[in-house]
Structure 1
Amino acid sequence: MLGGLQRQLSHQRHLVASEVGFLKQYAAAISAQAWGSQLTWQPQQTWQCQQEIEKGWKACVLLVERNEVLMAVRGTYSGAQLPLTLWRWGVVDNSHWLSTPHGWLDFCPFAEVPRCQLPQ
């Protein structure tokens, strides 16, 4: 009976650690988005990226149409295996990022996988 209880406890501990890891990664990505929103940008039809290496943040913008820009951000922390990418529609006005209301995306909006890959 104690062996079964120990296995359940170990499994629950693993689930909690996984959830905590995701929350840390999400917080890092949100921080990267806030940081990227304050940078100056000259969007082009290829990804333009800026990094904050110390914090593990990366923000990229891509001009999709005349005044429609997509921002992709990544935030990592020391225990993360893969980065979490957040996507958001917006515009760049006078080199400054402005988020579009309700512009959050849960995934890359492009059907072509190469367009979703950020430069290294």
Structure 2
Amino acid sequence: MVLMLLLLGGMTLHATRTRLAQSMPLVADAQQHHQDYWQAQAALEWGLRQNWPQADSWQCQSEAEQQWQSCLLHREDDDGLLSGRRAGSTLWLFRQVSLHASALQTQPHGWIDYCPLAKAELCPPQDEPAGL
């Protein structure tokens, strides 16, 4: 009976260790996603405080120390779309903004986690180096 309990306990420990080893990449992916999300959120806030000259297409600025990238697209009627991400990440966050004398103000309920533009090629450049 004792031998049977030891065998059953050993099999249970082995199954638990195997399951844990399979779960570790999922935990690492989730942790990376959370880090990218909060870095993108910080890049959006940083982008709100930058000076943005008038332009007809996406313009990007980078913060080298934190590796943030923020891009702004001027749209019609003093509206704009601000995006932010950690440099090198594929996770972008977007915020609809109003432009008042080159200062940005967020629009109520304007936060969005995907590019709201109709065509993917109108979204911010993925791999271009940031800068004005």
- The answer to whether the 8 A contact 1:43-1:61 is kept is no
Superposition deviation, residue 12 in structure 1: 2.4
Distance 1:70 1:59, change over 3 A: same
The alignment status of 1:31 with 2:31, answered yes or no, reads no
Report the Cα distance in structure 1 between the residues aligned to 2:55 and 2:110, rounded to whole angstroms: 19
Report the Cα distance in structure 2 between the residues aligned to 1:29 and 1:117, rounded to whole angstroms: 14
Question: Which deviates more from structure 2 when the two are superposed, residues 20-29 or residues 81-90?
Answer: 81-90
Superposition deviation, residue 85 in structure 1: 0.3
Query: Percent of aligned positions with the same letter in both sequences?
Result: 32
The alignment status of 1:66 with 2:77, answered yes or no, reads yes
Q: Normalization by structure 1: what TM-score?
A: 0.86
RMSD, aligned α-carbons: 1.7
Report the Cα distance in structure 2 between the residues aligned to 1:107 and 1:83, rounded to whole angstroms: 11
The alignment status of 1:103 with 2:114, answered yes or no, reads no
Structure with bigger gyration radius:
2
Instruction: Could you list the structure 1 runs, at least 4 aligned residues long, displaced by more than 4 angstroms after superposition.
Output: none
Secondary structure class of the residue paired with 2:84: strand
Superposition deviation, residue 69 in structure 1: 0.3
Q: Gaps spanning 5+ residues in structure 2: where?
A: 1-10
The total of aligned residue pairs comes to 116
Q: Gaps spanning 5+ residues in structure 1: where?
A: none
Q: Normalization by structure 2: what TM-score?
A: 0.79
Equivalent residue letter for 1:85: W
The alignment status of 1:3 with 2:14, answered yes or no, reads yes
Report the Cα distance in structure 2 between the residues aligned to 1:49 and 1:38, rounded to whole angstroms: 13
